[in-house]
Amino acid sequence: MTTAENSLFQHSNVAGTAFEELSVREQAERIGSFCPDAQRLAMRVLDPDDAADLLQSLDHALRAKLLALLDFSARAEVTALLAYAEDVAGGLMNPRFIRVRPHMTAQEAIMYVRKQVAANPATSSYVYVLNSQQKLMGVISMKELLMVEGKQEIQQIMRSKLVTLPESCAQDEVANIFAKNHLIAIPVLDGNGCMKGVVTADDVVNVVRSEATEDMQKMGGSEALDMPYLTAKLPTMIRKRGGWLIMLFIGELLTASAMAHFQDEIAKAVILALFVPLIISSGGNAGSQASTLVIRAMALGEVKLRDWFRVMKRELVTGLSLGIILGLLGFIRVVAWEQMFHIYGPHSVLIGLTVAISLVGVVLWGSVTGSVLPFLLRRLGFDPASASTPFVATLVDVTGLVIYFSVASAVLMGKLL
């Protein structure tokens, strides 16, 4: 950039932050109002992958206009990137990387690398060894290149056992591969083994953060916000939370119907109503734990679809154990309160038994439902993270009521009922 260009560009920046350091959202908000010269400069300071991300977030008219401002080779690179979905390896990669041929000597390679670095300073610090069909044969770091004898052939010093990413690799899988291999940069290959670009760990840091944020927000029972909490406009926030809240409310309306079904039992023994929140929420809590653990394990690649039966067996044992613990506590609570305050009447032991058995049932049911639901959602092509805590709780609430009143009928029939 010349000094004149630079000052023009600086002028069009808000608050002095360099344009390329802004988030994609901030860039998108600002670039539309730049003058044409500043727009051209802004597009030129961006790496092709960042330019593609920005263009992907703009409407079609502005996208075409900005794309036309790039010079021919950059436009070709960005257009190629725009063909990838944002959330696969191809959409994350930088298509610019330094390449050498396997038969070059180290000295020739260094000369060739110098030329490429001069043209594109913003590339990773690895040198990729490609054959004439652009197939990736190996890799050598700048550091290693600095170390070797000038006459050695690249193919003799390169590493050829490589971790690579297919271009369509989903970004959560990209993150899992980076996490497992502790690498700074991983090359991206197409179906023929030709190298298309490089994904670097700094980009993956942001992928991991935004994927986790999205999952958490879904697991908390709302749509992913896709923007910082404090900058989200209130109508957007209400819409993203209201949608799920209304769906959950409609699901929860079934509890009113279930309760109405047992209205006669409640009328006969009002005391039964007192334990309704305790019992259904315990089932919801157990379900929340199970679904959270399973959703996260799936996202980390620790649990696959085929593991559903193993997971269910674990949750059967865990849920039963936890249910027995809570059931015992519930029984003790009812009997102790009766001893101290005499509020549950002559059938307090039977009431305690009803509460205890119901707790075992709902905690077991909650654990199993919470763990199986993420598998079911993924199998059906939905995001397992939609098995949110409130969603599981709602499911368990309705069935929890049925369990509770069924147990009550069995235990208290002929006594209180």
Contact positions with a copy of itself (CB under 8 A) in 326-385 = 326, 329-330, 333, 343, 363
Beta strands at 126-130 and 136-141: parallel, antiparallel or unpaired: antiparallel
| Residue 312 sits in the site that holds a copy of itself (CB under 8 A) | no
Q: How far is the CB of 373 from a copy of itself (least distance, A)?
A: 13
Nearer to a copy of itself, 8 or 320 (CB): 320
Measured distance CA(328)–CA(310) in Å, rounded: 28
Q: Tell me the C-alpha distance between 186 and 165, whole Å.
A: 7
In the complex with a copy of itself, the residue whose CB is nearer, 23 or 33, is 23
Smallest distance, a copy of itself to C-beta of residue 194, A = 24
Q: Among residues 275, 308, 331, 405, which is the contact residue for a copy of itself, using CB under 8 A? A: 275
343 within 8 A of 333, measured Cβ to Cβ: no
Nearest-approach distance from CB 109 to a copy of itself, in angstroms:
11
Out of 7, 249, 339, 345, point to the residue binding a copy of itself (CB under 8 A): 249
Count, residues near a copy of itself per rule CB under 8 A: 113
Q: What is the 3-state secondary structure (H, E, C) of 50-93?
A: HHHHHHHCCCHHHHHHHHCCCCHHHHHHHHHHHCCCCCEHHHHC
Nearer to a copy of itself, 84 or 244 (CB): 244
In whole angstroms, how close is the CB of 263 to a copy of itself at the nearest point? 6
CA distance 266 to 260: 9
Tokens of 319: 């849920």
57 vs 131, which CB is nearer to a copy of itself?
57
Pair 129, 108: CB distance under 8 Å: no
Please pick, from the candidates 68, 205, 305, 410, the single residue that binds a copy of itself as defined by CB under 8 A: 205
Burial 332-361 (b: 16+ CB within 10 A, else e): eebbeebeeeeebeebbebbbbbbbbbbbb
Q: What is the rounded radius of gyration, in angstroms, for the C-alpha atoms of the chain?
A: 30
Whether the Cβ atoms of residue 126 and residue 139 lie closer than 8 Å to each other? yes
Cα separation of 199 and 95, whole Å? Answer: 9
CB of 212 to a copy of itself, least distance (A): 4
Using DSSP's 3-state secondary structure scheme, residue 182 falls into coil
Phi/psi of residue 158, each to 5°? -70, 155
Tokens of 349: 């032991």
Q: Can you tell me which of 134, 168, 321, 406 binds a copy of itself, judged by CB under 8 A?
A: 321
Residues numbered 10-39 forming contacts with a copy of itself, rule: CB under 8 A: 21
Least spacing, CB of residue 372 vs a copy of itself, in Å: 14
- Find the helix or strand (DSSP H, E) in which 165 lies: strand 165-166
Among 4, 61, 118, 340, binds a copy of itself (CB under 8 A): 118
Give, as ranges, the residues between 60 and 89 that touch a copy of itself (CB under 8 A).
Answer: none
Q: Are the CB atoms for 370 and 287 separated by under 8 Å?
A: yes
Question: Of the candidates 212, 350, 402, 417, which one interacts with a copy of itself according to CB under 8 A?
Answer: 212
**Segment contacting a copy of itself by CB under 8 A, of 3-11, 53-61, 163-171, 291-299:** 291-299
Residues 217-246 close enough to bind a copy of itself by CB under 8 A: 217, 219-222, 225, 228-230, 234, 237-238, 241-242, 244-246
- Give helix 48-56 / helix 24-31 axis angle, nearest 10°: 70
Considering only the stretches 32-40, 84-92, 153-161, 182-190, report the one whose residues sit in contact with a copy of itself under the rule CB under 8 A: 182-190
Q: Measured between alpha carbons, how far is 383 from 396 in angstroms, rounded to an integer?
A: 20
Residue 357, token pair as written in the block: 């058995």
Q: What is the closest distance, in whole angstroms, from the C-beta atom of residue 370 to a copy of itself in the complex?
A: 9
Instruction: Tell me the closest approach of the beta carbon of residue 211 to a copy of itself, in angstroms.
Output: 8
125-164 positions binding a copy of itself, by CB under 8 A: 125, 141-143, 145-147
Q: Do 323 and 363 touch, CB atoms closer than 8 A?
A: yes
| Among the listed residues 60, 151, 161, 182, the single contact to a copy of itself using CB under 8 A | 182
Among 48, 138, 361, 390, binds a copy of itself (CB under 8 A): 390
Q: Which of 24, 157, 162, 184 binds a copy of itself (CB under 8 A)?
A: 184
- Which single residue is written with the structure tokens 């939609």? 386
Q: Does 117 bind a copy of itself (CB under 8 A)?
A: yes
416 binds a copy of itself (CB under 8 A): no
